[in-house]
């Protein structure tokens, strides 16, 4: 390899300062990786006997009784192929809804979240995860990155249990954000306080 090629490669590699800055930013956000893991494991463990919806499946369903939805995944793991903006389920069909690594791929995430709220029963639990700092990954498109504060805005119609920033594999450069909450129970008039 010639000297110019070596210099070009050296200029594109992150410097130690780059890693230091990302590590400091991750510390300021507070790595909730351990809490995230425990909360999610507890949510799955407590889902037995409940009606549960999983939006997007990577390698496996969360449990056999979960109903899985994905618009593009043609694997046998998917029960229904429909758009997250227009789920083909009745209002208030599910006790638990989980949506991991999907909202960055939809054009209108707040509309998709509203649809998740529509199919969730009052008092039902919702879990959402999105990238914060991750490489672009079009499948078929990649639109959004969101901070913990931004995710709170998207999820403002739910009652927050926990929100946090987490590192993936302990690396401050590959990170995500999670939200765990509940759909508000009905008001005295009988209507849900969730916006449509």
CB 115 within 8 A of CB 53: no
Strand-pair partners of 131: 176
Report residue 4 as tokens. Answer: 């110019």
Q: Across residues 175-192, what is the average pLDDT?
A: 80
| Between 192 and 160, residue with greater pLDDT | 160
CATH number at residue 55: 3.40.50.150
Residues 70, 28: Cα–Cα separation, whole Å? 35
Structural domain contains residue 139: yes
- The answer to whether residues 159 and 168 touch, using CB atoms and an 8 Å cutoff, is no
Edge-to-edge order in the sheet of strand 120-133: 67-69, 52-55, 94-100, 120-133, 171-182, 159-168
The whole-angstrom separation of Cα 151 and Cα 181 is 12
Q: Give the domain range for residue 86.
A: 30-182
Q: For residue 86, is it within any domain?
A: yes
Q: Which of 43-47, 109-113, 184-188 has the lowest mean pLDDT?
A: 184-188
**Residue 13 in domain:** no
Q: What is the DSSP letter of 121?
A: E
CB 116 within 8 A of CB 160: no
Domain count, the chain: 1
Q: What's residue 13's pLDDT?
A: 62
């Amino acid at each position: 390899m010639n000297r110019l090629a070596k210099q070009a490669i050296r200029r594109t590699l992150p410097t130690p300062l780059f890693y230091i800055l990302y590590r400091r930013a991750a510390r300021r956000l507070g790595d909730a990786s351990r809490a995230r893991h425990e909360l999610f494991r507890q949510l799955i463990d407590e889902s037995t006997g409940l009606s549960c919806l999983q939006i997007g499946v990577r390698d496996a369903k969360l449990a056999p009784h979960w109903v899985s939805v994905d618009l593009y995944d043609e694997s046998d793991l998917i029960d229904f192929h429909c758009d997250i903006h227009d789920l083909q389920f009745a209002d208030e069909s599910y006790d638990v809804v989980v949506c991991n690594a999907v909202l960055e791929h939809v054009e209108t995430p707040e509309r998709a979240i509203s649809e998740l709220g529509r199919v969730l029963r009052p008092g039902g639990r919702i879990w959402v995860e999105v990238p914060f700092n991750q490489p672009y990954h079009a499948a078929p498109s990649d639109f959004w990155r969101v901070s913990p504060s931004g995710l709170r805005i998207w999820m403002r119609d739910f009652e927050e249990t926990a929100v946090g920033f987490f590192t993936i594999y302990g690396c401050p450069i590959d990170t995500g954000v999670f939200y765990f909450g509940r759909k508000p129970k009905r008001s005295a008039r009988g209507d849900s306080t969730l916006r449509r």
